[in-house]
Copies of this chain bind each other. A is one copy, B any other.
Amino acid sequence: MADDQKPKTKLLDELEKGPWPSFVKEIKQAGEKSPVCDDLLGQLELSYEEKKGHWKHGGIVGVLGYGGGVIGRYSDLPDKFPNVAHFHTMRVNQPAGWFYTSDAIRTLCDIWERHGSGLTNMHGSTGDIIFLGTKTSELEPAFKELTEAGFDLGGSGSAMRTPSCCVGPARCEWSCYDTLKTCDDLTRQYQDEMHRPPFPYKFKIKCSGCPNDCVASIARADLSIIGTWKDDIRQDDAAVAQYARAGLDIRKDVCDRCPTRCMEWDGQKLAINNRECVHCMHCINVMPKALRPGQERGATLLIGSKAPIVQGALLSSVLVPFVPENELMDTLKELIRRIWEFWDEYGNNRERVGELIQRVGMANFLDAIGLDPAPEMVAAPRDNPYIFFQKEEAAAEPEPAGA
């Protein structure tokens, strides 16, 4: 395509200015090799002019034998922008922790230049490598090259999504379990559930190595795996003193910001009442050289977070307070099996597992998946007296131990 044929993008050109890297530049750059990008720019400029999108609603496309991993997308102005008449994206499983070699990056680039727009998202919100925009006929060839290079598609529709994880033990001193291994194992374990949508709706898993939750698992995953420890915070008194000497106001900046105020600093010695510590990470974050998570490590499993549609956004809530690291994979597999079984049977169409739990009640959900109720699961016990006593129990209640 000759230069003078390039679309006029008066509005978008504005977004090439300014210090932050420009996505318009990226599209134009890719456009140097791919005519697709010119039509994308043209349509986008029109959207900017008209203040509305120009994509048609969905459309089911995919690769052979897979029900997910491709998002079908069609322009609503195919005559005007024929090169984006089809403009599907491919979701590709990212390597755990988003680690790459330059070669791997180049391989991906080559494939996508051959079979798509040359535009990517590194990465999508769920964590996948996003290959942004291609036509239906290129899906299968792109897929073939991807798998040959050792890559595979992620999920879409009512399927498992590619799990994601924080950098964890690869580069973080606080990781309480192996997030990369867990994420990778889970991704491999559930390839089938990812590629052949078997569920009432989507299912996401995210793995954070500690309660800082650097992959936002508690807000964005149906199953959130957050590393934690059970024993005492490891404390290096000399290093604490050094922070104090260096000017850190330990009382104000550490003790007073501890959510349970379980720390005391008398100017000399830091005393932590570890029984009352809620493992929030704050003190460790502030004094990484002096404090470290304990050594009895593992993870808390939480269930059910999601975005607002339909009944309001949810945060994940505690399902298993602590699983030791060495039992983590087995526990996860067993638990996931039971959760899916229950969700399969009782979940409504487009009902996330968190919504299902809200609907049937946590206690019934626990029953169904064979877990005992534990006070760690609730912020507080119920405050309304509307208790559904189980039939068999009324009239034959033993006196509780504490009474």
Q: Which residues of A contact B (CB under 8 A)?
A: 256, 261, 308, 312-313, 383-386
A383: chain B residues at CB < 8 Å are: 313
Oligomer: number of copies? 2
A313: chain B residues at CB < 8 Å are: 383-384
A256: chain B residues at CB < 8 Å are: 261
A386 to B383, CA, bound (A): 27
Least CB distance, A378 to chain B, in whole angstroms = 16
A sample of 8 cross-chain residue pairs with beta-carbon separation below 8 angstroms, ordered by A number, consists of A256-B261, A308-B384, A308-B385, A308-B386, A312-B384, A312-B386, A313-B383, A313-B384
Q: Is the interface of A mostly helix, strand, loop or mixed?
A: loop
A50 to B206, CA, bound (A): 58
Least CB distance, A262 to chain B, in whole angstroms = 13
Q: Which residue of B lies closest to A261 (CB)?
A: B256
A385 to B256, CA, bound (A): 34
A312 to B382, CA, bound (A): 11
A312 to B385, CA, bound (A): 8
A266 to B385, CA, bound (A): 47
A313 to B385, CA, bound (A): 9
8 closest A-B pairs by CB: A312-B384, A308-B384, A308-B385, A313-B384, A256-B261, A313-B383, A308-B386, A312-B386
A261: chain B residues at CB < 8 Å are: 256
Q: Which residue of B lies closest to A255 (CB)?
A: B256
Least CB distance, A41 to chain B, in whole angstroms = 29
Given contacts A312-B384, A312-B386, A313-B384, 5 further A-B contacts (CB under 8 A): A256-B261, A308-B384, A308-B385, A308-B386, A313-B383
A386: chain B residues at CB < 8 Å are: 308, 312
A261 to B384, CA, bound (A): 32
Least CB distance, A14 to chain B, in whole angstroms = 20
A385: chain B residues at CB < 8 Å are: 308
A285 to B384, CA, bound (A): 31
